[in-house]
Amino acid sequence: GEDVEQSLFLSVREGDSSVINCTYTDSSSTYLYWYKQEPGAGLQLLTYIFSNMDMKQDQRLTVLLNKKDKHLSLRIADTQTGDSAIYFCALGGSSASKIIFGSGTRLSIRP
């Protein structure tokens, strides 16, 4: 089956950029997502990228997709304390069916 891997923790200084990485095994996914989960809350869709794109920028967020290496990353510029959360990489197919999630990366911000 498909496997999606992320590192468990990332600590960055407030104001710096955060880069959260994700690797996957199945390259047939059409959509690649980044979700954010704050404590006690559900998942919030941050951004997504189609598999035929290499990059997508949305305000402070930049998503990079390297299909050859099966690597997806999320860069958060000017990281703020409100960015503290767990970030999930997820892959979806061409139909509205199940999404495969990574294990999540807990981002902590230090002053």
Partner 1 sequence: KAGVTQTPRYLIKTRGQQVTLSCSPISGHRSVSWYQQTPGQGLQFLFEYFSETQRNKGNFPGRFSGRQFSNSRSEMNVSTLELGDSALYLCASSLEQVRGYGYTFGSGTRLTVV
Contacts with partner 1, residue ranges (CB under 8 A): 30-31, 33, 35, 40-45, 48, 50, 88, 90, 92, 94-104
CB closer to partner 1 out of 81 and 94: 94
> What are the two backbone dihedrals, phi and then psi, of residue 33, each rounded to the nearest 5 degrees?
-120, 155
Shortest gap between Cβ of 83 and partner 1 (angstroms)?
Answer: 18
CB closer to partner 1 out of 82 and 111: 82
Q: Show the tokens assigned to 83.
A: 């960015």
Which residue is listed with tokens 């050859």? 68
CB closer to partner 1 out of 48 and 61: 48
Shortest gap between Cβ of 59 and partner 1 (angstroms)?
Answer: 17
Interacting residues of 52 by C-beta distance below 8 A, sequence separation 6+: none
Shortest gap between Cβ of 71 and partner 1 (angstroms)?
Answer: 20
Interacting residues of 89 by C-beta distance below 8 A, sequence separation 6+: 4, 6, 20, 22, 24, 32, 33, 34, 72, 74, 101, 102
CB closer to partner 1 out of 30 and 66: 30
